[in-house]
Amino acid sequence: MPTPSRETAERLDRTDPLAAVRTRYSLPEGVVYLDGNSLGALSVGVPAAVQTAVVENWGRHLINVWTDDGWWDAPLRVGDRVGRLLGARAGQTLVGDSTSVHLFNVLTAAARLRPDRRLLLVEEGGFPTNHYLATSVARILGLEVRRVPMPDMASTLRRLGERVAVATAGAVDFRTGELWDVRAVTDAAHDVGALVVWDLCHAVGALPLTLDADGVDFAVGCSYKFLSGGPGAPGFVYAARRHHGDIDQPLCGWHGHAEPFAMVPDYEPTTGIGRLRVGSPNILSMLALDAALDVFDDVEMAAVREKNVALGDFFIEAVDAHLAGRGFELVTPRRGDQRGSQVTLCHPEAERIMRALNKHGIIGDVRPPELLRFGFNSLYISYTDIFAVVEALRSCT
């Protein structure tokens, strides 16, 4: 295979079927943005949508905006748009509160569906918030938390059997970008009667997901990474329809009530996914997300996935060819089917290198002490961008 070069990158960009989608994002001139796995780039349709929501809708309709402009139903409507990217049929996905709130709610609800089981399994090395929330749920419900390395999750589920109530894990490792087998772990849980709650923060908008087909019970995720919903954009929650009638969540707010405007003192949950609503959502952020999702209307997730695998392959090959002997170690799996939409390198001077990259107009991020993360959003990252990063890394070391 020829050594990766700028000429190769330019040729790949000329034949990239997603190249034109880059114009749907507002990216600063001269910047290579590889931190979209933390905060996605601004979609060009978002400013006008927020302007309309503030000036036209809220400004003119006042309190009637909730009914006249469809704000009350936005969590369900936008939820279904996200659900399409999850491989979920309508009526199973809700957008509204933060990812943390959703995770706390569904971990509790899932554990309550298995009241005679005392173990809550958590992905070892997963995102810290998930550990904190799992520990809190366990403390409230009298459960035992056990941390399990993801390569061992399926076998641990089968070994512990009926002792396990719930397992929770991220579909993609936030540090290394390693992709886990959602279906295999879900099947292992179901084989012993346990439930699984998946964190899709680093998967949604980057990978084709098939939650319904995989038999997933619950899932949560954020919308400000690959979906580009914006800073503090609302999270989403998926609950398989078979669980809707039995969901007993801890945070019972009036938006989830069967008759929210009756203002009665006793709580009666509504039917369907709406019972996972809590209080008034951050509606302006939700409408920004709604506009950002327009980008995906004519984009096939299979094409997105094909490109981010190819971008990762090109980056890894270029690192091998041009950065050998400079202290870099590949952390992410080499095989495209084993990684998400990021590549992580290890280097003892990671923080210094990232500061130097920033001076070159390249934005990635660091996970202390030694991890350099580079997120590849197929909708606005080019092969030329990738090669520019490798050139800059060479000059920094």
Residues 199, 214, 290, 385: which is the catalytic one?
Answer: 199
- End-to-end CA separation in angstroms for the chain: 25
Phi first, then psi: what are they for 53, rounded to 5°?
-60, -40
Say how far apart CA 12 and CA 17 lie, in whole Å: 10
- 392, 354 in Cβ contact below 8 A? no
In sequence order, what are the residues at sequence separation of 6 or more whose Cβ sits closer than 8 angstroms to the Cβ of residue 85?
Answer: 204, 205, 209, 227, 296, 301
Residues 25, 104, 127, 296: which is the catalytic one?
Answer: 127
| 300 SS3 class | coil
- 246, 272 in Cβ contact below 8 A? no
67 is in an annotated binding site: no
52 is in an annotated binding site: no
Say how far apart CA 131 and CA 308 lie, in whole Å: 29
Of 86, 335, 119, nearest in space to 199 by CA: 86
Residues 114, 225, 275, 307: which is the catalytic one?
Answer: 225
DSSP assignment letter at 58: I
Phi first, then psi: what are they for 375, rounded to 5°?
-95, 135
224 is in an annotated binding site: yes
Say how far apart CA 8 and CA 321 lie, in whole Å: 13
33 is in an annotated binding site: no
Active site residue 224: yes
- 229, 122 in Cβ contact below 8 A? no
Residues 33, 174, 218, 224: which is the catalytic one?
Answer: 224
Q: Count CB atoms within 10 A of the CB of residue 377.
A: 27
Of 368, 351, 362, nearest in space to 385 by CA: 362
Output the six-digit token pair for 46.
């978002």
Crossing angle between the packed helical segments 74-86 and 283-292, to the nearest 10 degrees? 40
Active site residue 373: yes
Active site residue 199: yes
Of 303, 314, 304, 388, nearest in space to 341 by CA: 304
Evaluate the omega torsion of the peptide bond into residue 368 and state whether it is cis, within 30 degrees of 0.
no
Residues 16, 373, 376, 380: which is the catalytic one?
Answer: 373
Active site residue 181: no
15 is in an annotated binding site: no
360 is in an annotated binding site: no
DSSP H helices, 242-292, are 283-292
Q: Could you list the residues known to form a binding site, using ranges.
A: 99-100, 199, 202, 224, 254
Q: Could you list the residues known to form a binding site for pyridoxal 5'-phosphate, using ranges.
A: 99-100, 199, 202, 224, 254
Show which residues are catalytic.
127, 199, 224-225, 373
